[in-house]
Amino acid sequence: MTEQAALHDICDDEAADAIGPAPAGSHVNLAILALALGGFAIGTTEFVTMGLLPQIAAGVGISIPTAGHVVSAYALGVVVGAPTIATIAAKAPRKHVLIWLMVAFAAGNIASALAPNYATLMIARFVAGLPHGAFFGIGAVVAAGLVDRQRRTWAVSMMLTGLTVANIVGVPVATLLGQQFGWEWPYGLVALLAITTAAVVALWVPKQDGDSAASARSELSALAKPQVWLTLGIGTVGFGGMFATFSYIAPTMTKLAGFSSDVVPLILMVYGVGMTIGTVLSGRVARIGMLRGIFLSLIAIAVMLAAFGPLAQHKVTAIVAVLLLGLLPSILVPMLQTRLMDVAHEGQSLAAALNHSTLNIANALGAWLGSVVLASGLGYEWPSRFGAMLAVGGLFVTATSALVARRSVAA
């Protein structure tokens, strides 16, 4: 038995102890739908801010560049909240934790909608970001425990579909709402979605106890495992390339492909469609083996990023490139989430939550890399090329993870 197979069995035993026999199929679907609704709310609030920066800036009396710090405040909340909450709540019943996370998320968004000034808004966005990673991390553990072992990545990917659908429906609708009635209203809408999520989680998600043997020490033990850090490294480096490109997608599409700025929201919807397709496909890709699927996905991402610049020179191929920019990295996310739960052993909730902290760090890394490239005088076709190098770096981290696992089994 390989190390990965043994860890799969451990995860399955823990899930079985937590919820007992698997619920009926329709109940499983409703439970995952409830979790996906939370992802929809989170995805909407995370990305709508970027589309409403001018309105937010005017509303609280700041410049647009300063308003960009509101996005950073939310991301910082994700990075801080994910490991902290997952560690503190390790023993608590997971269903109850998910409900209270959505209540806290609603409170943060209500505070955002009511913020009278910039300082208050920054604090409110930080608070709204705190439950983000923990909800996805603990939700992933819950979703994986609802199904058989071979369907765990499918269950996680279905939960994450809410996040991707938010980019197709939630963000455009919320942006339009904010443009027509004021920047505060989208945050109020998200708060309503969060309260609805808390209600349907209470109704549809089966009881799932926390780990009675868990403690802050046992959760933090995950950080002592090299495979956890290697998997987090795959996410940080591998996804940094995607964010180096996506952070500047609007000027890339207007300056290289020649689209008008009015078309950019539709292009972002194409990106959201790609994300949704990729998330749905992830479970199938994982069937060839978790590390093998991660490795092949990174190869595809590297090739896509290397070709993105030339493809973005023409409108038709630019749309195809944006679709692939959403699709290929989204195949990778559920596999990394499942891989982290496998290798963390005792600290599954913390490790799963850290995946979302990692993605936010990758966001910052990629955006910074793109800014350096553009500031050096290179054109908008170049951030993706440097991003491809990061994806190749992710391949080396994946290969190292596979080598470490093989040596561990041999020992």
pLDDT at 4 over 50: no
pLDDT band at 46 (very low <50, low <70, confident <90, very high): confident
User: How many C-beta neighbours within 10 Å does residue 220 have?
Assistant: 15
Domain boundaries, given as residue ranges, for the chain:
1-214, 215-411
pLDDT value, residue 352: 64
**Least confident among 225-239, 307-321, 348-362, 376-390:** 348-362
Intrachain domains 1-214 and 215-411 with the same fold: yes
Q: 71 versus 98: which is more confidently predicted?
A: 98
pLDDT value, residue 133: 85
pLDDT at 307 over 80: yes
What is the dihedral angle through the alpha carbons of 87, 93, 96, 97, rounded to the nearest 10 degrees? 10
Q: What's the rounded Cα separation, in Å, for the pair 147 and 155?
A: 7
Mean pLDDT calculated for residue range 396-406: 88
Q: Give tens-digit pLDDT for 88-116.
A: 887 788 999 999 999 999 999 999 999 99
| 352 touches 340 (CB < 8 A) | yes
Mean of the per-residue pLDDT values of the chain = 82
User: How many C-beta neighbours within 10 Å does residue 264 have?
Assistant: 16
Q: 184 versus 15: which is more confidently predicted?
A: 184
Output Rg (C-alpha) for the chain, integer angstroms: 20
Q: What is the DSSP letter of 147?
A: S
pLDDT value, residue 12: 42
Q: Does the predicted model carry a pTM greater than 0.85?
A: no
pLDDT value, residue 323: 95
Q: Give tens-digit pLDDT for 349-388.
A: 666 667 777 887 787 777 778 777 877 888 888 989 999 9
Helices of type H across 89-183:
94-114, 118-145, 152-165, 171-181
Dihedral of alpha carbons 160, 136, 199, 152, sign: positive
pLDDT band at 8 (very low <50, low <70, confident <90, very high): very low
| Percentage, residues of the chain above pLDDT 70 | 85
pLDDT at 179 over 60: yes
Q: What is 215-411's CATH superfamily?
A: MFS general substrate transporter like domains (1.20.1250.20)
Q: What's the rounded Cα separation, in Å, for the pair 74 and 45?
A: 9
Mean pLDDT calculated for residue range 63-89: 80
pLDDT at 17 over 80: no
Helix (H, G, I), strand (E, B) or coil at 91: coil
Q: What's the rounded Cα separation, in Å, for the pair 190 and 169?
A: 13
Q: What's the rounded Cα separation, in Å, for the pair 147 and 157?
A: 13
The pair of three-digit structure tokens given for residue 242, joined into one six-digit string = 């995607």
pLDDT at 204 over 90: yes
pLDDT value, residue 167: 82
Q: What's the rounded Cα separation, in Å, for the pair 168 and 160?
A: 14
Helix (H, G, I), strand (E, B) or coil at 353: helix
| Percentage, residues of the chain above pLDDT 90 | 33
Q: 389 versus 357: which is more confidently predicted?
A: 389
**Least confident among 10-24, 255-269, 292-306, 350-364:** 10-24
Domain 1-214 has CATH 1.10.1040.50: no
Q: How many CA atoms lie within 13 A of 226 on its CB side?
A: 10
pLDDT at 306 over 90: yes
The pair of three-digit structure tokens given for residue 326, joined into one six-digit string = 């959403």
| 335 touches 294 (CB < 8 A) | yes
Mean pLDDT calculated for residue range 46-54: 75
Q: What's the rounded Cα separation, in Å, for the pair 210 and 227?
A: 24
CA 161 from chain centre, in angstroms, equals 10
Q: Give tens-digit pLDDT for 21-45.
A: 455 556 888 999 999 999 999 999 9
pLDDT value, residue 30: 93
In the numeric block, the tokens 């604090």 are attached to 123
